[in-house]
Amino acid sequence: MRFISNSPEETIVIGLKLARKLKKGDCVALIGDLGSGKTVLTKGIAEGLGVKNPRYVNSPTFVIIKEYKGKLPLYHFDLYRLNKSTVLDAESYEEYFYDDGVTVIEWADKIMGLLPKRLIEVRLKVAGESKRVINIKK
């Protein structure tokens, strides 16, 4: 599926639509450059999963993972600062990938070989000041 977003608000709506199709154990790999809308899309996913105050969802760049309670738990990873996949071993990442919630991973391309086979890949691309192209592949 391919979407064009012309604003952060439209990106949130795309995240909401995606969240409606997510189920327990799903892993969403977000891939895109800085400023491509990964965190904004995650806010929409959080809202769609019933997370209270999804506007407070932000990138867990310094802590690697944040957990949010909703209809399904949301495990939000940000691997921007990750240099080696071994850092995730200490975090017991597999517990999240195969748990009862939904896992969303920003900068997932850094650990593609470690991710579950059943994966929803989302590629985001900057196409203008506020325009984004979002490709979702299951």
Q: pLDDT tens for residues 93-121?
A: 778 888 899 999 999 999 888 898 889 99
Domains of the chain: 2-137 (3.40.50.300)
Spell out the per-residue pLDDT of the chain, length 138, in tens: 999 999 999 999 999 999 999 999 999 999 999 999 999 999 999 999 999 988 889 887 777 889 999 999 999 999 988 876 556 665 577 788 888 999 999 999 998 888 988 899 999 999 999 999 999 998
Tokens of 2: 């391919």
Distance CA 95, CA 43 (A): 22
Distance CA 43, CA 58 (A): 8
65: enclosing H helix or E strand: strand 65-68
Half-sphere exposure of 135 (CA within 13 A, CB side): 7
